[in-house]
Structure 1
């Protein structure tokens, strides 16, 4: 044990270095110390205040530059309101307000200045007739000429048909004529169909389906052109008669066309009658193909029988 004590090393004594006080931390900006969310709120608030200030300034400037006519009772600068043409003068001839009001309310009061006075319905200017005469299917205006004697034998006509819608009556032709579904006409009579004729013979009445013209003759011309709708396609008119009748006008004409390349024709006529029972004149239209020329005399019988109700 003594030997071990002699050979053991003595513990080293190490002197501790003097303690140096820690350096004071570098001072940072206060902004850097703030959390980012606080900085965002400050920036957002500043932007909102700036936008509000700009909007208020723009509104103030625009309101100051607005034309005075935008305000109630304001007038545009440099303009003077013209007085109303209908305003009464301030002289002694001007009626009192109550009289003016009653005059305006009365249906017989004269119209004020600047208001067109009601007048009769204007008559057509003839443009429809001009257009019709330009149609190559018409040879031009018909010359006045009485309807001559047509071939064939007249059918018996002991009874009459009343057309209340058109305001006329006409003969009910005997056999082989018979009444038929009238639509789109008011009344309709027909002959038995003939093969190859191109269309069926018919006698119809209705209010004129075209624009009423200034004269019955012009109205009849437009009506005759309209009847081509009831003939084969490509049909053309050749006038044979144009004459006045009681309260109207009569036009007779030959209609030529082709059926399967073969030339065919029909004899046709229209009469336009003014009546007191309808707003428009009455139209009576009859057409008979050449395959039944033995019935052409019925055209004269039918048209001469037309009477106002």
Structure 2
């Protein structure tokens, strides 16, 4: 028989059980803190990827140079002044007399509208005309008045014609001492010999209008006349002689007053604009200084010979 141990026996000792290991998460042996950090990083990466995809979808084709995204319209380029023209800003306040002139230039009987073939690029507002009347060099337009016969003798033999195919207009080819000269920047050019001491050379030129065509030919002629001051001495001023309709257009005749070495001088000039087969109206411009007054009659000859084609 086996002897039972006496509980009071000092030699009998109890052995304690070992402690249970700490609980671990189900994801291997990683602690929960590490798991949370990994999940947070994953969420950030997913959000960033979604933002990139959305940006690419909404950008459309706007990432291509020179293109705009759908729904946007590029603003039209600002209008640029014609070569050699002096910029004059439209004054916010225009005198009553100037306003009256602006209104008078649009009356049905005084305005010849361009043909449908020349309406492309026509100004849609009258800001340029208002600016022209605000220019101190350009007075109010006179009432319609035909050009009188000017002093001198006509220099035109027979039916000699100069054809400006670029502008779509024919005009008289004047005889000697007039001669054909280098046309640039115009389409055609006829000149008289230079006079010593004269700041202006007599010339007859034709070309498409160098300014933006207006809805009414009279307004276009006004802006063209103002533009011709670039071919006269600085600070030249206009004094009107005649204003009249011509076939498919308008004619303005005027004096251009200026000073040479402190002495008052002037030229007789005319500008005619007319619609033609070309995409823009044609302009014929003639100017003859007072030192060559025997040739003033050629102004009548030229303007009466203009034929749009």
Indicate the TM-score class for this superposition, using the shorter chain for normalisation.
0.5 to 0.7
Deviation per CA, 1:215-258, whole angstroms, max 9, x where unpaired?
11000000000000111111110111000011110000100011
How many equivalent pairs are there?
212
Distance in 2 of aligned mates of 1:199 and 1:177: 15
Q: Mapping of 1:126-145 within 5 angstroms?
A: 126-145=126-145
Does the Cα contact within 8 Å between 1:157 and 1:171 map onto a contact in 2?
Answer: no
Distance in 2 of aligned mates of 1:238 and 1:186: 27
Q: Does 1:189 align with 2:182?
A: no
What secondary structure does 2:288 align onto?
strand
Deviation per CA, 1:93-123, whole angstroms, max 9, x where unpaired?
xxxxxxxxxxxxxxxxxxxxxxxxxxx8674
What secondary structure does 1:269 align onto?
strand
What secondary structure does 1:210 align onto?
coil
What secondary structure does 1:170 align onto?
strand
Change (3 A) 1:56 1:259: farther
Change (3 A) 1:156 1:141: closer
Rg larger for: 1
Change (3 A) 1:55 1:228: farther
Distance in 2 of aligned mates of 1:280 and 1:272: 10
Greater relative contact order structure (CA < 8 Å, 6+ sep): 2
What secondary structure does 1:140 align onto?
coil
What secondary structure does 1:275 align onto?
coil
What is aligned with 1:153? 153
What is aligned with 2:40? 57
Does the Cα contact within 8 Å between 2:156 and 2:172 map onto a contact in 1?
Answer: no
Change (3 A) 1:64 1:210: closer
Q: Mapping of 1:10-21 within 5 angstroms?
A: none
What secondary structure does 2:266 align onto?
strand
Give structure 1 regions of 4+ aligned residues with deviation exceeding 6 angstroms: 64-67
Offset at 1:142?
3.4
Distance in 2 of aligned mates of 1:307 and 1:71: 62
Distance in 2 of aligned mates of 1:196 and 1:53: 97
What is aligned with 1:268? 269
Root-mean-square deviation over aligned CA pairs: 2.8
Distance in 2 of aligned mates of 1:304 and 1:61: 84
Does the Cα contact within 8 Å between 1:235 and 1:256 map onto a contact in 2?
Answer: yes
Distance in 2 of aligned mates of 1:72 and 1:282: 52
What is aligned with 2:236? 235
Distance in 1 of aligned mates of 2:135 and 2:250: 21
TM-score, L = length of structure 1: 0.63
Change (3 A) 1:59 1:214: same
Does the Cα contact within 8 Å between 1:133 and 1:141 map onto a contact in 2?
Answer: no
Change (3 A) 1:300 1:60: same
Offset at 1:308?
1.8
Deviation per CA, 1:265-290, whole angstroms, max 9, x where unpaired?
000001111112x1001100000000
Offset at 1:176?
1.1
What secondary structure does 1:212 align onto?
coil
Deviation per CA, 1:142-198, whole angstroms, max 9, x where unpaired?
321111121111112321110000111111111111110001000000011111221
Change (3 A) 1:62 1:137: same
Does the Cα contact within 8 Å between 1:272 and 1:283 map onto a contact in 2?
Answer: yes
Does the Cα contact within 8 Å between 1:241 and 1:251 map onto a contact in 2?
Answer: yes
TM-score, L = length of structure 2: 0.63
Offset at 1:124?
2.2
Distance in 1 of aligned mates of 2:299 and 2:181: 18
Mind listing any 5+ residue stretches in structure 1 that lack a counterpart?
A: 1-48, 74-119
